[in-house]
Amino acid sequence: MLAGSCTLVAAGGYFAQPLARLIGQDLQLRSWAFGLIVTLGQLGYVAGLLLVAPLGDRMEARSLLVRTLAASAVALGVAALSRQGGVFLVACFGIGVAATAVQMLVSVAAITAAAEHRGRAIGVVTSGLLTGMLLAWPIAILIHAHWGWRAIFGGDAVVVATLALLLRFSLPVHQPASPRRYVELLRSLHMLVCSEPELRYRASMQAFLFGAFSLFWTAVPSTLAHRFDLGPSALAAFGAVGAGAAFAAPLAGRAADRGLGRRASAVCIAAVGTAFAMAAICGAHGIAVWALAGVAIGAGVQGSHVISQRAVLSISVQTASRLNSLYVATFIVGGACGSAAAMTLLALGGDRAVTLAGVALALGAGILWRFRGHRF
């Protein structure tokens, strides 16, 4: 149930990505503002991670999750009904803030699972998160082709509102052991960063990998359309194939539960670097090469994420929500940098520049892994 909930909530944060230009033109935004549709959603997500998600260490978990989902439904509804570009951009920021509900779902899974099965639980729920991220792209393209972009946000608002009611009556109550004042929670974020080397390490390594993930999926539509002349339906099918990477998350979680986290992390990093190298060398030979690279990159990045998130959530039960917020916010910034660099790299050096940059990012993660002295 939690994995399915993650799929539905995560998808809402990515529906605008493939349609940003079309939505911007319909709302008569200036061309330079088209990118704000995606950027404001990402900034909203980071803001939510730092300002809303830490409340999980203070408020009852189910109540906080349901309220956040209700706010998400409202933001999606505003986006669907927007007639002015400014209103839609504000709604995008709100959608991003409320998308932190996915991390609350992951925290609920970690809290309710036994310690020896925590990695498996996180892996299952995270597989739903990845599925939502990757399926949002083809679903948005197909729905827009038949009913327009407003139907995407309006329909998702109804789905999320229904989900909030379902979880309200399904999830157990979990009250934090020692609630603290909200201001104290925010002040403690800086102290947690300074005092937890495991958090800094995991967040930095995942920022490299998620930067590579965002780089690939931002650049690949233009690459495929230019190199193989793919239309919207074919691009949607390609995005659906990429969702096959979700299989890696549960496997990585089980490996971490068995004490094989370090080895599994090495395999994940190697998969990302090898996939980019394969695309650089063989990308001209067919779409299948790019599809295989997309699955390998998604599997590697999500597998590494599950292992790292398990480690971060295991540092301290009392600070789990804040630790997870800092961890996710850090690698989301890495992903935003990867997305921002994608179009520039394509313009300067084509898909070869993108793939070589991806190899470099994987290498950066590998260097962090190699020189990490502590046991996972």
**DSSP letters of 68-91?**
HHHHHHHHHHHHHH--SHHHHHHH
Contact 105, 65 (CB under 8 A): yes
Distance CA 260, CA 254 (A): 9
Contact 338, 353 (CB under 8 A): no
CATH value at residue 271: 1.20.1250.20
Q: Which of 114, 138, 172 is the last residue of a domain?
A: 172
Q: Is residue 178 part of a domain?
A: no
Q: Is residue 64 part of a domain?
A: yes
Are residue 235 and residue 123 in the same domain, yes or no? no
Beta strands in the chain (DSSP E): none
Are residue 299 and residue 220 in the same domain, yes or no? yes
Are residue 196 and residue 165 in the same domain, yes or no? no
Q: Which of 172, 202, 221 is the last residue of a domain?
A: 172
Buried b (16+ CB within 10 A) or exposed e, 185-224: beebbeebbeebebbbbbbbbbbbbbbbbbbbbbbbbbbb
Q: What is the mean predicted confidence (pLDDT) over 219-237?
A: 79
- pLDDT given for residue 92 in this prediction: 92
Q: What is the mean predicted confidence (pLDDT) over 184-204?
A: 89
Q: Is residue 204 part of a domain?
A: yes
Q: Over pLDDT 70: what percentage of the chain?
A: 98
Q: Is residue 60 part of a domain?
A: yes
Are residue 77 and residue 23 in the same domain, yes or no? yes
pTM above 0.85, yes or no: no
Q: Which residue has the higher pLDDT, 225 or 370?
A: 370
Where in the sequence is the domain holding 65, given as residue range(s)?
A: 1-172
Q: Which value, in Å, is the radius of gyration of the alpha carbons in the chain?
A: 20
Q: Is residue 206 part of a domain?
A: yes
**In the structure, what pLDDT confidence band is assigned to residue 12 with cuts at 50, 70 and 90?**
confident
Are residue 287 and residue 375 in the same domain, yes or no? yes
Closest CA to 219 of 358, 130, 339: 339
CA atoms within 13 A on the CB side of 9: 35
Are residue 281 and residue 363 in the same domain, yes or no? yes
Are residue 160 and residue 219 in the same domain, yes or no? no
Q: Which of 172, 201, 218 is the last residue of a domain?
A: 172
Q: Report pLDDT digits (tens) over 87-119.
A: 999 999 999 999 999 888 888 887 777 777 777
Are residue 26 and residue 149 in the same domain, yes or no? yes
Beta strands in 230-318 (DSSP E): none
Are residue 111 and residue 245 in the same domain, yes or no? no
Q: What is the total count of domains within the chain?
A: 2
Distance CA 314, CA 119 (A): 10
The position carrying tokens 């959603």 is 41
Q: What is the mean predicted confidence (pLDDT) over 210-218?
A: 89
Per-chain mean pLDDT for the chain = 86
Of the spans 130-139, 154-163, 188-197, which averages the highest pLDDT? Answer: 154-163
Are residue 125 and residue 265 in the same domain, yes or no? no
**Whether the predicted pLDDT of 61 surpasses 80:** yes
Are residue 226 and residue 149 in the same domain, yes or no? no
Are residue 146 and residue 199 in the same domain, yes or no? no
